[in-house]
Amino acid sequence: MTLNTPSTILKDTGRVVDIHTHVYVPSYLQLLRERLQVPRILPPLDPDDEASLERLVILPGEDNDVTTANGRPVTNGFSDVGEKLRFMDQHGIDISVISLANPWLDFLPDTEATYTTARNINCEIQLMCDQSPERLYSFGVLPLVNIQASIKEVENISRLGSMRGVIMGTHGCEGRGLDDPALVPLFQAIADNNQIIFLHPHYGIPINSGSALDTSGNEKGHALQLALGFPMETTIAVTRLVLSGIFDKVPHLKLMLAHSGGTLPFLAGRIDSCVAHDGTIADSLQHPPSWYLKKMYYDAVIYHDVGILATARFVDPKHIMFGTDHPFFPPPGDDTAKPKRWLSVDSNLEALDHAALDHETKRGILGENACRLLNL
């Protein structure tokens, strides 16, 4: 597909695939509407104005922050397949691999109802993909509060034709992290079922002193958590996972990391060095940490040519794949003033362009790598 864009990057590229694109299925939106705590959906700010939308408040502490307590407007783009396809057409995207947006189900109790919620969400995602089976594929979601139930859900996901793996947060089971030894059988089941884990942050890391205002009295909103907390959360969770030795136990486990792996391509050398100087950890691994990190897959949602280049120098560029993060980061402003193309998408395309990678490498990142890896 080619389109009229200031960037020339989408010319002669073959299929363009978006591997980082989210949905909130209707049953999940309903679950969030019924909650009294974050994550939750709040009613429209002005109930008398038909144009006023419900608001999604999901990040920890977001409800206490003066700039973000009103959340994000819940637009059609959150759950409507027609809207997803329209967005894809507007941006020259041929195929999307959709996944439930954060947070996943780790805030729910360990009950049968939670396992059923995961099952229903996966069925709903499959039904969405069935509306355009050539263009929509997906990652499923697990009831991670219970490992046996998650293993069963991995097997169910294998029977859903559009699904290629699972999206997973960094908290693991009951907040014990991904290096929790209890997760090993789940990772084994995911690898045995030839699925990939799309690892995505949600919780961020402590950044603010608790105040929504900086020392000059300026409001910070959640930009710091999204810009820095998310990538650091991924960096820490994946490093812990590597140091747990999971990839020696389950060598075929495949991971795709959101936001180009946080800071991992940049910090891999330092991680190797620190581990090499710590005999107890170094001796527990068959290889240096970067060896395992190079086996992983990375999205190209980094908005910067330097970030793309660092990732492409660190891993085989065949391990890098384009994404948009739709429906997050819509163009700011009211609907009438909004441009058709999203800055968040174009900045990632331009980053790829400016990285001056050769044509075959770009073509791979834009779609062919995902088609090969996920059998699209």
Residue of the chain from 7, 79, 102, 146 that contacts ligand 5CU (CB under 6 A): 102
Q: Which is nearer to ligand 5CU, 29 or 226 (CB)?
A: 226
Distance in Å, CB of 199 to ligand 5CU, minimum: 12
Beta strands 95-100 and 136-140 are parallel
Q: First vs last Cα of the chain: how many Å apart? A: 16
From CA 233, how far away is CA 327, in angstroms rounded? 21
Torsion over CA: 323, 328, 330, 332 (sign):
negative
Distance in Å, CB of 8 to ligand 5CU, minimum: 27
Distance in Å, CB of 83 to ligand 5CU, minimum: 17
Site string for ligand 5CU, 173-212 (x = CB under 6 A): ----------------------------------------
Helix (H, G, I), strand (E, B) or coil at 111: coil
Residue 336, exposed/middle/buried by CB under 10 A (0-12, 13-18, 19+)? exposed
| 328 touches ligand 5CU (CB under 6 A) | yes
Distance in Å, CB of 58 to ligand 5CU, minimum: 6
Asked whether the beta carbons of 75 and 53 are under 8 A apart, the reply is: yes
Q: Which is nearer to ligand 5CU, 137 or 203 (CB)?
A: 203
Helix (H, G, I), strand (E, B) or coil at 8: coil
Distance in Å, CB of 103 to ligand 5CU, minimum: 8
| 226 touches ligand 5CU (CB under 6 A) | yes
Please tell me what DSSP assigns to residue 266.
Answer: H
Residue nearest ligand 5CU by beta-carbon distance: 328
| 299 touches ligand 5CU (CB under 6 A) | no
**Binding to ligand 5CU (CB under 6 A): which residues in 58-77?**
58-59
Count CB neighbours of 102 within 10 A.
Answer: 19
**Phi/psi at 20 (nearest 5 deg)?**
-125, 85
Residues 6 or more apart whose CB falls under 8 angstroms from that of 295 comprise 247
Q: Which is nearer to ligand 5CU, 170 or 361 (CB)?
A: 170
Q: Which is nearer to ligand 5CU, 226 or 371 (CB)?
A: 226
Distance in Å, CB of 293 to ligand 5CU, minimum: 21
From CA 79, how far away is CA 76, in angstroms rounded? 6
Q: Which is nearer to ligand 5CU, 78 or 187 (CB)?
A: 78
Residue of the chain from 65, 233, 325, 350 that contacts ligand 5CU (CB under 6 A): 325
Helix (H, G, I), strand (E, B) or coil at 72: strand
Residue 152, exposed/middle/buried by CB under 10 A (0-12, 13-18, 19+)? middle
| 107 touches ligand 5CU (CB under 6 A) | no
Binding site residues, ligand 5CU, CB under 6 A: 58-59, 102, 226, 325, 328
